[in-house]
Amino acid sequence: MSVEDEEEQPAEEDGEDEDDDISNATAKTLVRRRRDQLVKLCENRGIEAGGTKPQLVEALLQWRDNRSVYTTSPSSGATARPPSTSRPKRRSGQNATPVLERSDRVQADDPSTPKPASNPLVVPMDDGVLLDIEGLGLEDSVIPTSKLTKLDKIGSGGFKDVYIGKLGGKKVAIAEFRGQLTEMDIKELKLLARFDHPNVVKFLGVSIPDNPRETPMIVSELCSNGDLFDYVRNVPAPHLNKVLNLMLDIANGLKYLHDHKPSVIHRDCKSSNILITNRVTAKIADFGLAKVKQSTRSMVRSLVGTVNWQAPELWHAHPKYNFKVDVFSCAMVFWEILQWHAKEQKFPWEASSLHAGMNEHAIYETVGAKQQRPSVTGLAKQWCPEIVELMEKMWAQDHKDRPDMTYVVQQLEALKDAYPPPRSKAR
């Protein structure tokens, strides 16, 4: 059953009662319920009911947020940002104890909890298992808070506030979590520590404050030009060669993730998750929804991401998909880049003076059933026909018809050679 079909069913047909209503639930209220109640809530919604209680809670809140009608939030200037990823929102007023803690603090909180012999950090999970920081591959990435200086706030999103900071005299980005770290956050930390590529944001370390009321911080390289979403709206449209350079950066970053051992599917590729450095290099960021794919033959099952960039095979209660969902989303990002020259730069299916915009249902119908895509009128003439042809291959309806990122990189490299930068005029 597709998400669209599922949402058209009235609550009475699902037998929904007061106990079954999660419209106003939070992670804190849901986790108080018994596991069998959470399983029933999942089953009533067609959600795969497996895993720990926090995993069930996460799945329920993701399902609920994916049912929400499409909304936008203000961004810089008059441009509206796309909806954020379908992760449950935390209340900023919650003073939950961070999941990542020092071992002596955990010992003091619960004398019955065994203290790891040599690990300075542990991760107490819902089932009582302690995962040490060494197991996450972060034992060499712990940064003392005394070495960090937090400066101006430069952004907020999801569960984090991002600041410019200093580490050893060098400017860095500091992402400070709001409230308790989830298993999704822990997974993101583990993934970041493994990555090493010029087109993937470089992870520098994690800092765990001594004060138990303060939340952990992720320290990464600073991309001073912000995200691609704002960059294309605040900087004049460049020459085609520079546009191709940015596209190649994004393609190389995704290719690295797909070729990684084990392979990683980003699952939320969009302009706000691509950061731009001071040298105008694009880097893939935000791996909170990334999925480690242990087998190249397997299809992953779960619904995540932002619908405006999503591949249609994701729109099912139990979707089956592979790394080609990133190829589709990358094509949508390319389309967004190709709006750079327009008076109104739009993200896919955004409202405009000529277009009323679409909620999620309308996007499902347009992209899924009608197999339509954003307009490419005039783009071949403005930029080049080859990039439009490549983009249309990448957003093919059937994932089997889409190229892989290796092919995309090869095509973009050839286009860069075919469309060199303009020569500077001799004085």
- Give me the DSSP letters along 243-283: HHHHHHHHHHHHHHHHHSSSEEE-S---GGGEEE-TT--EE
User: Which phi and psi angles does 73 have, rounded to 5°?
Assistant: -125, 155
In the set 185, 227, 230, 268, the catalytic residue is 268
Radius of gyration of the chain (CA): 22
Which residue's structure tokens are 């190709």? 338
Q: Is the dihedral of CA 229, 235, 236, 237 positive or negative?
A: negative
* 398, 342 contact by CB (below 8 A): no
Q: If you ran DSSP here, which 8-state letter would residue 215 be given?
A: P
* 330, 395 contact by CB (below 8 A): no
Q: How far apart are CA 82 and CA 359, in angstroms?
A: 11
Strand-pairing partners, residue 227, are: 275
Assigned token pair, 97: 């104890």
* 158, 84 contact by CB (below 8 A): yes
Active site annotation includes 185: no
Q: Where in the sequence numbering do the catalytic residues fall?
A: 268
